[in-house]
């Protein structure tokens, strides 16, 4: 019995973006959903990366996570259930300005080419399976949920940064089919989830102590 051949490695995303820039009309409006369709859905990982990049610093802009987190959550949810990668019409079908379109395409092209120097398709067979794509989409959704929690960086340092690192590592690995780099994403995911478990335990303990103290104060007041 012969072993079936491995599926061919997907075309590098940088090549897909370059083709869009070469064949597309620079003055024609482009939407995020069109970008996702023209990259055969693999652009979803690039969008996840772009939405996660603002949080790689330990102190991020307040309120951004409550906007970017749900957007990533929507994309990851659709990916998990096997639906086409697209955003809701109110956001995904809004035409990008020519300047923003050139920025997204050229910036994404440079970013992908930089990644492809160190990240490459390795041990991609298991990553290509449908169950693997769905499982990783669930991880992305979990991290997006953690990212969307309204916890300000000071005093909760790392509440945005740790999920963003994990999101970027997982998205990069899935985008380029790197079955080795993906393990760094798993480690970053464990660190991020562990951080929120410890944070939740500390907050719950302090909240319980505060409620007990309040109850005793009310008893004294009576």
For the segment 152-191, what is each residue's pLDDT rounded down to a tens digit?
Answer: 665 566 678 889 889 988 998 888 788 888 998 999 999 9
* Helix, strand, coil share (%) of the chain residues, nearest 5: 65, 0, 30
Classified as helix, coil or strand, 150 is coil
How is residue 68 written in tokens? Answer: 């970017």
User: pLDDT tens across 103-116, in order?
Assistant: 667 777 777 777 77
pLDDT at res. 138: 92
What percent of the chain lies above the pLDDT cut of 70?
73
- Quick one: pLDDT band at residue 207, thresholds 50, 70, 90? low
CB 56 within 8 A of CB 161: yes
Q: Is the pLDDT of residue 216 over 80?
A: no
Classified as helix, coil or strand, 30 is strand
- pTM for the full predicted model: 0.72
**Closest residue by Cα to residue 128 from 28, 39, 42:** 42
Residue 178: beta bridge partners? 122
């Amino acid at each position: 019995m012969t072993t079936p051949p491995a599926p061919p490695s997907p075309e590098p995303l940088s090549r897909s973006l370059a083709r869009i820039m070469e064949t597309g009309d620079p003055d024609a409006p482009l939407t995020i959903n069109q970008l996702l369709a023209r990259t055969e859905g693999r652009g979803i990982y690039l969008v996840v990366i772009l939405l996660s990049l603002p949080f790689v610093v330990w102190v991020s802009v307040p309120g951004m996570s409550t906007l970017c987190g749900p957007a990533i959550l929507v994309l990851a949810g659709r990916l998990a259930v096997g639906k086409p990668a697209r955003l809701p019409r109110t956001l995904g079908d809004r035409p990008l300005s020519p300047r923003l379109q050139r920025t997204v395409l050229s910036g994404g092209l440079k970013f992908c080419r930089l990644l492809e120097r160190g990240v490459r398709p390795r041990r991609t067979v298991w990553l290509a399976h449908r169950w693997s794509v769905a499982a990783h989409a669930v991880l992305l959704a979990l991290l997006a949920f953690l990212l969307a929690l309204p916890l300000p960086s000071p005093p909760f340092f790392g509440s945005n940064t740790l999920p963003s690192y994990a999101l970027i590592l997982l998205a990069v690995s899935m985008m380029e089919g790197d079955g080795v780099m993906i393990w760094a994403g798993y480690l970053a995911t464990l660190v991020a989830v562990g951080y929120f478990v410890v944070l939740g335990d500390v907050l719950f303990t302090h909240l319980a102590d505060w409620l007990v103290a309040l109850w005793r104060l009310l008893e004294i007041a009576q």
